Chain A
Amino acid sequence: MDKQLAAILLIACLLFPVGVAFAEWSAEFSLEGRWHTEEAVDPQQHSGGLSLSGLAEYYASWDGGDQQLVFKPFFRTSEYHDGRAHVDIRELYWLMSGDDWELRVGVDKVFWGVTEAYHLVDVINQADLLENPDGEQKLGQPMIKYSHEGEVGVLDAYLLLGFRERAFPNEKGRLRTHPMVDVNNAQYETHKDYPGFAARWSGSLDDWDLGLAYFHGISREPRFELSLAEGVPVLTPHYDVIDQVSLDVQLVDDDWLWKFETLYRSGSANSYAAATGGFEYTFVGIADTDMDLGVLLELIYDDRAELAATPFNRDVFIGLRWVGNDVAGTEVLAGLLYDQQNHSRFLGVEASRRLVNDWKFEFQLRRWLGIALDDPTYAYRQDDYFEAKLIKYL
């Protein structure tokens, strides 16, 4: 990874022209307090505290905007030394684009898919679980990406260089497994530098958005095996090589957004099919105000059922999205995920509001309710928390 980064930097420097047409730095810092409302499963685990994170961005463009350089470093420090402190290069790429093509070389983040509750087909980047257990935060992935645009769609080809292991909190951290994940002893079916390859065609035709993708490489989701490390039981992560084909579809019809994602994944350990889909219906201008209220319903299906390493196997998600459309851009998203087989429930609330002059406030609540013993989130059953975050933009 380090060698590849150095190579990318070198390439970027060589291509960097003397006269950059446009360049700017920007940054955001956020002070976050997270409080756990229940006693931890393991007394070593903390009950919450403060944490500071920063994300800077350097952006330069030249050649009439056809060439760009983007650099986005990220850091987090944490008061409670729970392993959440980390640094990452979220993005560092050079981009060149022509009339119907685009080339990106470097570290980047890619999002695939359409659903809200569970991003099933999104496979390129490793989830940054230290940031948030929802997996929406991602680690930067080194890649070479070439896109070719046609009449209705675009074909993206990815060469994924270097694999990012999933990080987990240490023994003091909340939202971790018991026993702990032995992060220093990850097992690979091949080797860590095994390159990945992916291709995706996506297009829009009238009211339809479609994506068809193929991925070959190391699975971002490890499989765990119980073993002993120095006489202590641990979960050893195993990273298999997988092949995945996926389809994501979205249809817009007036106030309705219909969403569907499905995949078939094969690997040496197991092969399975999974799907998720549903709708978001928006009531625009409720009660003669400017506010919108969206109702979300999504179903999640995995043919491995309770054998799935993911909590998302036979679940129903019901959500409400309230958008104030006010000057402060107030938004609230609340969702309940219900496992139809073991009746475990997960409740999440996210709210945000802009404050004066480049300040923003965010609130989060996560609760695990009635989590069954056989559910993969059983380890989180006493990790309910709420989080308040103050963000300053520079």
Chain B
Amino acid sequence: MIKRDLMAALWLVFLGSLLGMTQATAQTPEARGLEIAQEVNHRDTGFGDYQVDMEMLLRNQHGDESLRYMRSRVMEVSGDGDKSMIIFDRPRDVKGTALLTYTHKSEPDDQWLYLPALKRVKRIASRNKSGPFMGSEFAYEDLTSQEVEKYTYRFLQETELNGQPMFLIERYPVDENSGYKKQQVWINQVEYRAEKIDFYDRKESLLKTLVFQDYHQYLGQYWRSGEMVMQNHQTGKSTVLTWKNFQFRNGFTESDFKKNALKRAK
């Protein structure tokens, strides 16, 4: 009796380890995609905070151009999504308007908009994330913190982009209010940073392509793109977002990302 139980236990251990081995050798595409996303996130963890100037050049299908200037401050929050504040400088009619965002890993982000003419802070309904940011080809959700938990993943293949080895992964927004069904992301195999994203709309047709250019490394670790080019394939419009004057570790605290700070941001 005891012997038979022992034998059964040994079999279980044997089968179990066999299962473990197959998992290690033949990882599912989902697990591999997630692993890559986690590594991207891991390498970008610990930057603390940064501030940066943003310039947006909007171009429509006829070649008409329009400019926007903004400043952004971002603070890393341990155990939750980043906090950020964007202050608008141009166009002039929105000068002094400021957007405060608390991103969350699994819940919808919290957003408040400060309107300087009325001195009023307005809460933004959480679904508005899929809408265009300042009339540009960037949606709000493209510009907020890309937390790992906001997507599920699938590894597609190893490939090349501009002669560099890439992981091509697909990610699917968890939030049903996202404007996208899926995104295909080219991730640099050496630096684990995104080089290109194809956005597919809810009907799964190709909507936009985002290309990250002019990467620079800060604090010897953190890569930031200096120029992002977003091309809308369905409308022919495009937006070039230029990031200038990155400054890391400014010593921002929680109170720099509260409503009072929003009201005195100029």
Chain A residues with a Cβ under 8 A of chain B: 26, 28, 59, 61, 68, 70, 95, 97, 99-100, 102, 109-111, 114, 136, 147, 149, 154, 202, 204, 207, 209, 250, 252, 254-257, 280, 282, 284-285, 290, 292, 325-329, 354, 358, 360, 391, 393
Contacts and interface: CB of A to CB of B under 8 A. Distances in A.
A376 B64 CA distance: 50
Given A252-B124, A325-B135, 7 more contacts: A26-B92, A97-B260, A154-B259, A285-B130, A285-B179, A325-B131, A393-B92
Contacts of A354: 91, 93
7 contacts: A26-B92, A110-B119, A154-B259, A204-B112, A255-B125, A257-B125, A326-B135
B85 to A, nearest CB: 13
A271 B91 CA distance: 46
B60 interface: yes
B23 interface: no
B266 interface: yes
Nearest to A352: B93
A391 B93 contact: yes
Interface size range of chain B in the complex: 35 or more
Contacts of A114: 123
A110 B53 CA distance: 29
A149 B94 contact: no
A103 B135 CA distance: 36
Interface in B93-146: 93-95, 108, 110, 112, 118-121, 123-128, 130-132, 134-135
B123 A97 contact: no
B43 interface: no
B127 A209 contact: no
Contacts of B112: 204
A204 B259 contact: yes
Contacts of A285: 130-131, 179
A323 to B, nearest CB: 8
Given A327-B66, A328-B135, A284 B123 contact: no
Interface of B: 58, 60, 66, 91-95, 108, 110, 112, 118-121, 123-128, 130-132, 134-135, 177, 179, 253, 255, 258-260, 264, 266
A354 B260 CA distance: 28
B119 to A, nearest CB: 5
B132 A325 contact: yes
A353 B242 CA distance: 26
A284 B130 contact: yes
A210 B177 CA distance: 26
A102 B258 CA distance: 12
Contacts of B119: 109-111
Contacts of A280: 125
B125 A252 contact: yes
Contacts of B118: 111, 136
A154 B127 CA distance: 27
B125 A254 contact: yes
What are the nearest 8 A-B pairs in CB distance?
A393-B92, A327-B135, A111-B120, A358-B92, A255-B127, A325-B132, A360-B93, A111-B119
A47 B110 CA distance: 47
Most chain A CB neighbours (cut-off 10 Å) among B95, B121, B123, B131: B123
A292 B92 contact: no
Contact of A250 (B123, B132, B255): B123
Contacts of B130: 284-285
A166 to B, nearest CB: 19
A252 B135 contact: no
A99 B110 contact: no
Contacts of B120: 111
A59 B266 contact: yes
B127 A149 contact: no
A284 B94 CA distance: 22
A95 B94 CA distance: 22
A286 to B, nearest CB: 11
Nearest to B176: A254
B177 A254 contact: yes
B259 A358 contact: no
Nearest to B256: A99
Contacts of A28: 92
Contact of B127 (A68, A202, A284): A284
Nearest to A57: B96
Nearest to B104: A206
A102 B260 contact: yes
B266 A26 contact: no
A86 B131 CA distance: 40
A149 B120 CA distance: 18
A326 B131 CA distance: 10
Contacts of A329: 91, 93-94, 134-135
Contacts of B94: 329
A95 B264 contact: yes
B266 A61 contact: yes
B127 A282 contact: yes
B128 A284 contact: yes
A154 B261 CA distance: 11
A100 B118 CA distance: 24
Given A109-B119, A285-B131, A327 B58 contact: yes
Given A111-B120, A326-B135, A393 B93 contact: yes
Contacts of A147: 260
